[in-house]
Every structure is written in C-alpha cells, then in structure tokens.
Amino acid sequence: MNLKILYNNESGVKNFMKSWGFSCLVETDKNNVLFDTGWDGNVLLHNMELFDVKPENIQNLVLSHQDWDHISGLNHILAGTDFPEVYVPKSFSENLKNEIKRYSNLFEVSNPVEICEGVYSTGELGNEKIEQSLILQTVKGVVVLTGCAHPGLENIIKTAKRFGKIYGVVGGLHDLQSIDFLEEIPFLMPCHCTRHKNDIKTAFPDSYHECGNISFNELR
C-alpha cells in the first residue's frame, strides 16, 4: 500500500505547491482512495499531475470533516468526471450532501465501514467537531490516516485497534496534547495542522518521518 501526500502546507518535493489544507491518495492493489481535497482545487490538481494521479483513476473519495481546508477542492475533482463513490460523515450539511449527489454515489457514514479491501472508515467520532479517519491494513500493520484528529488521536486509535495492531499514524494531529502514548507506535508522520510536531520529532526520533509519500511495502 502506498500513500501520496497531495496537499499539505509543507513539502520537500520539488515543484510541489504548498498550501494550507490536506489531501492524501491511498493506493492499494485494486483501488485508489482519495482522502480529503485540500482548500484550493487548482493546487490539488497541480500536485496530482506532479505525482501522475488522474481524477478518473480514483475509485473512492473520503472526506474527513467539513472544514474548508479539507473539502474545498471537491468540485475540481468531481467536475467533469463520472465519480463513483464519495463517503462523508452523516453529520455533513444536507445542502452539501445534495450537491455531492449530483456528481456521484454518496455514502453517509456513521459507524465503521469498509471503503474497499484493506481500507476502512472509523465512522463518525467526536462531539463538537465530528470527523472520520481512515484505517489502513498494510503489510506492516494498521495505519491510521487522519484529517485533523479533532476527536482526539487516542479515541481514533482505540477504534482502529479493533482492526489489528497499530503500526503507524499519518496526517493532521491538530488537537494532540499528550504524546506519551505515541511511544508504542513505530511509524509517525504528522502533517498539516499538527501543533507539536517538533515535540514528537524530539521525543521519538526513530519513529518520526517528515510528511511525504511512503510505500509501506518497501519499509524495513
């Protein structure tokens, strides 16, 4: 399984357009799953072209939560394509869900659900800000992919543990306060809105990775 970071406010990749927001492509043997779409659709399309990712080759699109920096590139992906499946938290606004239905098959997520083989949604988590994350079954173990982790990373991991032993965490960790529990996780790749990235890097230098593309099949 491969992950391609398509939208982020930091990157060491030449010609990558940096912007506030997040998007990540999950490549499995059978499916390509786009997780979030960032803020600026033109930036997203530029970075997709940089990594040779074509909208028509994406089978599933998952939106973590309804913040502008995670969904605003949506119309650039849906426009002009016969997009098969979009998964959103059931709590999304009815107006937005109705718009998405015009371009795709919409799936409203409340409980954990399989997106495709090896890729699952945590279902809706959180109270004040509801969010779904992805649970990825890789050859190394379970990897949690987050948008912002507003419901709390510990709560997200608790759900993900039902699918197996946690190997990694990738994505935005906006509200993360305590980091001690990360000691048992071998692979940490904080992205986007993570406030305490330097603390994580200092505390867990062997587990920490800068946000970027990764193939879990090639990790040793």
> CA-CA distance, 33 to 26, in Å (whole number)?
5
Tokens of 165: 């032993």
pLDDT in tens, 16-57: 999 999 999 999 999 999 999 999 999 999 999 999 999 989
Strands (E), 70-176: 83-89, 104-109, 113-116, 119-121, 134-138, 141-146, 166-172
Domains of the chain, with CATH numbers? 2-215 (3.60.15.10)
Neighbours of 182 (CB within 10 A): 21
> CA-CA distance, 114 to 47, in Å (whole number)?
27
Indicate yes or no: pTM above 0.85: yes
Q: Is the dihedral of CA 121, 124, 126, 128 positive or negative?
A: positive
pLDDT in tens, 145-187: 999 999 999 999 999 999 999 999 999 999 787 899 999 999 9
